[in-house]
Chains A and B, each alone.
Chain A
Amino acid sequence: MKKSLSLLLCLALVATMTAGCSGSSTSSDNSDVIKVGVFEPLTGANASGGELELEGVQLANQLHPEVLGKKVELVVADNKSDKAEATTAAARLIEKDKVCAILGSWGSSLSMAAGDIVKSNKIPAIALSATNPQVTLGNDYYFRVCFLDPFQGTVMANYAYKTLGAKKVAIVQEVSNDYSVGLAKFFTDAFTKLSGDASAIVSTGNYNTGDQDFNGILTNIKATNPDVIFAPGNYTESALLIKQARALGITCPIIGGDTWETNEFITVGGADVEGAVMSTFFDDTNPPTEAGKTFVAEYKKLYPDRQNVPAVTALGYDGYMMLMDAIERAGSADPQAIRDALATTTNFEGATGVITINANGDAEKNSAIVKVVKDGKFTYLDTVTITQ
Chain B
Amino acid sequence: MVVGMTLSTFLQQLINGLSLGSLYALIAIGYTMVYGILKLINFAHGDIFMMAAYFAYFGISVFFLPWYVTFIITILLTMLLGAGIERMAYRPLREAPKTSLLISAIGVSFLLENLATYLFSGKPQAFPEFPVMTTPIFVGGLSIQPVSIVIPIVAFFLMTVLLFIINKTKVGMAMRAVSVDYDTAKLMGIKIDNVISSTFAIGSGLAAVGALLWCMKYPSVLPLMGVVPGLKCFIAAVIGGIGNVKGAVLGGLILGFSEVLMVAFFPSLTGYRDAVAFIILIIILLFLPNGILGKKQVEKV
Contact = CB atoms under 8 A, between A and B. Distances in A.
Contact of A264 (B16, B123, B145, B214): B123
A211 B225 CA distance: 9
Contacts of A268: 124, 126, 219-220
Interface string A154-177: 000000000000000000000110
Given A210-B224, A216-B259, A219-B12, A47 B121 contact: yes
B193 interface: no
Interface in A1-55: 42-45, 47-48, 51
A219 B13 contact: yes
A366 to B, nearest CB: 33
B270 A216 contact: yes
A223 interface: yes
B126 A264 contact: yes
A73 B225 CA distance: 34
A217 interface: yes
Lowest 8 A-B CB distances belong to which pairs? A216-B263, A43-B122, A206-B271, A47-B122, A175-B271, A212-B218, A215-B16, A267-B126
Interface string A239-262: 110010001110000000000000
Interface of B: 1, 4-6, 9, 12-13, 16-17, 20, 117, 121-126, 129, 134, 136, 138, 143, 145, 214, 217-220, 222-225, 227-228, 259-260, 262-264, 267-268, 270-271, 273-274
Interface residues on A, range: 35 or more
Contacts of A175: 271
Contact of B123 (A48, A176, A203, A217): A48
Given A205-B267, A219-B12, A264-B126, A247 B136 contact: yes
A136 to B, nearest CB: 26
Contact of B12 (A203, A206, A248): A248
Contacts, number: 111
A284 to B, nearest CB: 21
A358 interface: no
Nearest to B10: A219
Given A43-B117, A51-B123, A239-B220, A219 B271 contact: no
Interface of A: 42-45, 47-48, 51, 81, 175-176, 203-208, 210-213, 215-217, 219-220, 222-223, 236, 239-240, 243, 247-249, 264, 267-268, 270
B98 to A, nearest CB: 30
Given A42-B122, A236-B220, A223 B4 contact: yes
Nearest to B228: A210
Nearest to B9: A223
Contacts of A243: 219
A247 B124 contact: no
A249 B136 contact: yes
A356 B268 CA distance: 40
A240 B218 contact: yes
Given A206-B268, A248-B12, 8 more contacts: A47-B124, A208-B274, A210-B227, A211-B228, A215-B13, A216-B16, A216-B17, A216-B273
Contacts of A267: 125-126
A268 B134 CA distance: 14
A384 to B, nearest CB: 30
B264 A44 contact: no
Contacts of B5: 223
Contacts of A211: 228, 273
A54 to B, nearest CB: 12
Contacts of B263: 205, 216-217, 220
